[in-house]
Amino acid sequence: MSKEHSHIISTIVEHKPGVLYTVSNLFRRRGFNIDNISVGPAEEVGLARMTIMVTGDDRTIEQVIKQLNKLIDVIKVTRLNSEHSVTRELALVKVNAINTKARSDIINYADIFRARVVDVSPDSLMMELTGTSDKIDAFINLMKPFGVKEVARTGKTALSRGTKSIIIED
Burial 89-118 (b: 16+ CB within 10 A, else e): bbbbbbbbbeeeebbebbeebbeebebeee
Give the footprint of other proteins on this chain (CB under 8 A).
13-14, 18, 21-22, 25-26, 29, 59, 62-63, 66-67, 69-75, 168, 170
13 versus 106: smaller Cβ distance to other proteins: 13
Distances in Å between the alpha carbon of 35 and those of 51, 67, 97, 165, 169? 11, 17, 32, 24, 30
CA-closest candidate to residue 50, choices 102, 7, 14: 14
Identity of the residue, 73 or 128, whose beta carbon is nearer to other proteins in the bound complex? 73
For other proteins, the closer of residues 15 and 153 by Cβ is 15
CA distance 73 to 138: 38
Q: Which amino acid is at 164?
A: K
Nearest distance from residue 163's CB to other proteins, in Å? Answer: 22
Q: How far is the CB of 37 from other proteins (least distance, A)?
A: 17
What minimum distance in Å lies between the beta carbon of 53 and other proteins?
21
Select 19 or 127, whichever has its Cβ closest to other proteins: 19
Considering the complex, what minimum distance in angstroms separates the CB of residue 52 from other proteins?
Answer: 16
